[in-house]
Structure 1
């Protein structure tokens, strides 16, 4: 059964000079999750933050820290992100040869386990490990940069994964990330997504706009 929509603002679009303040503000504005994009300059063509920053942000919010590791190899970093305060650790199916082993490492660290799929990766990759998952993340842009245009064809993948999740009978978050705004959010939810990652659409306009932005993404504005 599909869960109520949750909003996961991506701090990639926050003011990095005031990151703790930004996390506290987006939390107060009604965010459900805090989405933390970790990029290594190898798996994706950009570099962002590491576990030390996650640890520094942890006191600024009690919300779920949803850490998306765009990192390869990823296994050596899982324990550090869990210790830093990640509640969900999502890895890419494309980032290593032993996805099941990686998911077991996440579980052993005490975090919930997620898998992300790049636009060219089919939904079927998830099927052998669906019993080990707490979250599936569909990339509706190619990962590495914020502000990209939504890839419409990924909605078919969302719908396929929704059927797979419902068939499993498990409470797995179905998250979508990339080009999410109030218009694409509605289409993503109609296809079956129940967690929306939004960067620009969540953080635009400064602190006084955050609650309005989140309400618009939720469809309750």
Structure 2
């Protein structure tokens, strides 16, 4: 069954001087999830914020907090983020030697578990943990900074992961350079959850944020609509077969 498209604005692109207000604004603007990019300056070349900031902004929205941990080591900090209010905790497959153990720890704390893959990481690394995860996050930029350009080669990876997931209740999320211009392509490849930072926080009001979110959602939903020639192909083949007979 096809999952509903979810839009998860990344607060990395928000105005940090009024972060709580920004979270409330994207909530009112139609965000489905609140995406929180946590960076440590070690695993990725940037530092963003930690569990205390997530705890501070948690009261500003009842929407799920989708917390993406770009940190290494990650295991010592999982509990703090769960207690801060993370509904989903995503760790990088590249961030530690024992991915299975990390996922077990997340679930034991009551949060949903996700795995993120950098652009150069093959999807094979998640093959043996698929039954422990609720989300796969495909990075379509190299993690560390907002505002980067989308890496088109990741479209094929998204397709392959969608095939791997099969009928499992796992969301397939993409993060990095997502705009209204490429949302259809990632959705057509099989993604059902789109993270967008700069493309959402363009403007200064909840109304402008709402228009940005709506544009990305419409584009993503358009990507799911079968092309006319594709939908008519089975009937055409049947007609041709009948003529042959």
Partner of 2:209: 210
Q: Does the aligned pair in 2 maintain the 1:43–1:95 contact within 8 Å? A: yes
Q: Does the aligned pair in 2 maintain the 1:51–1:84 contact within 8 Å? A: yes
Residue 183 of structure 1, CA deviation:
1.2
Match of 2:43, SS state, is coil
Runs of 4+ in 1 over 6 A off after TM superposition: none
Residue 174 of structure 1, CA deviation:
0.2
* Distance across 2 between alignment mates of 1:204 and 1:75: 34
Partner of 1:139: 139
Match of 1:38, SS state, is strand
Which runs of 5 or more residues in structure 2 are unaligned? 222-245
* RMSD of aligned Cα (Å): 1.0
* Distance across 1 between alignment mates of 2:103 and 2:86: 14
Residue 171 of structure 1, CA deviation:
1.1
Q: Does the aligned pair in 2 maintain the 1:9–1:35 contact within 8 Å? A: yes
Relative contact order, higher structure (CA 8 A, sep 6+): 1
Q: Does the aligned pair in 2 maintain the 1:123–1:161 contact within 8 Å? A: yes
* Distance across 1 between alignment mates of 2:204 and 2:195: 18
Please list the CA deviations of residues 133-153 of structure 1 after superposition, one character each: whole Å capped at 9, or x if unmatched: 000000000000000000000
* Distance across 1 between alignment mates of 2:80 and 2:109: 9
* Distance across 2 between alignment mates of 1:102 and 1:163: 24
* Distance across 2 between alignment mates of 1:133 and 1:183: 29
* Distance across 1 between alignment mates of 2:217 and 2:34: 15
Are 1:19 and 2:49 counterparts? Answer: no
Please list the CA deviations of residues 76-97 of structure 1 after superposition, one character each: whole Å capped at 9, or x if unmatched: 0000000000000000000000
Partner of 2:31: 31
Query: Taking structure 2 as the reference length, what is the TM-score of the superposition?
Result: 0.88
Partner of 1:87: 87
Residue 21 of structure 1, CA deviation:
0.2
Partner of 1:201: 199
* Distance across 2 between alignment mates of 1:4 and 1:121: 27
Please list the CA deviations of residues 106-146 of structure 1 after superposition, one character each: whole Å capped at 9, or x if unmatched: 01111000000000000111110000000000000000000
Please list the CA deviations of residues 33-79 of structure 1 after superposition, one character each: whole Å capped at 9, or x if unmatched: 00000000000000000000000011000000000000000000000
Which of the two has higher C-alpha Rg? 2
